[in-house]
Amino acid sequence: GQSLEQPSEVTAVEGAIVQINCTYQTSGFYGLSWYQQHDGGAPTFLSYNALDGLEETGRFSSFLSRSDSYGYLLLQELQMKDSASYFCAVRDAMIKAAGNKLTFGGGTRVLVKP
């Protein structure tokens, strides 16, 4: 089975940096993904790490340590529009296939204040 742990809520001010940690326990592993979801909306893909290290995409970066079963999403230069829920997710397979299921963490609600 799979389990993912992430903080339930984080509050920060505009311009700040927020790090959302995600630890996971999985029977198989093929990458850690991050999704953003605004209230009432659909989740949208942010990043994906299959190998150890840091992936940077604009203001958002994602890190993975497979040996520690740990990853994080880093949100820099926070903006009001970044207020949303952020989910980490793992794919429970060693084979790369589109039909592989994702298991999502509980989500972290990020509230950005002026």
Partner 1 sequence: GAVVSQHPSWVICKSGTSVKIECRSLDFQATTMFWYRQFPKQSLMLMATSNEGSKATYEQGVEKDKFLINHASLTLSTLTVTSAHPEDSSFYICSVPLILPGGDEQFFGPGTRLTVL
CB nearer partner 1, residue 42 or residue 114: 42
Nearest-approach distance from CB 38 to partner 1, in angstroms: 11
Chain positions contacting partner 1, by CB under 8 A: 31, 33, 40-45, 48-50, 87, 91, 96-107, 109
CB nearer partner 1, residue 16 or residue 55: 55
| Nearest residue to 29 (alpha-carbon basis) of 89, 100, 90, 96 | 90
Which residue in the block uniquely carries the two structure tokens 């799979």?
2
Within a 10 A sphere around the Cβ of 27, how many other Cβ atoms?
9
CB nearer partner 1, residue 67 or residue 97: 97
Nearest-approach distance from CB 15 to partner 1, in angstroms: 26
**Cross-strand bridge partners of residue 11:** 111
**Cross-strand bridge partners of residue 77:** none
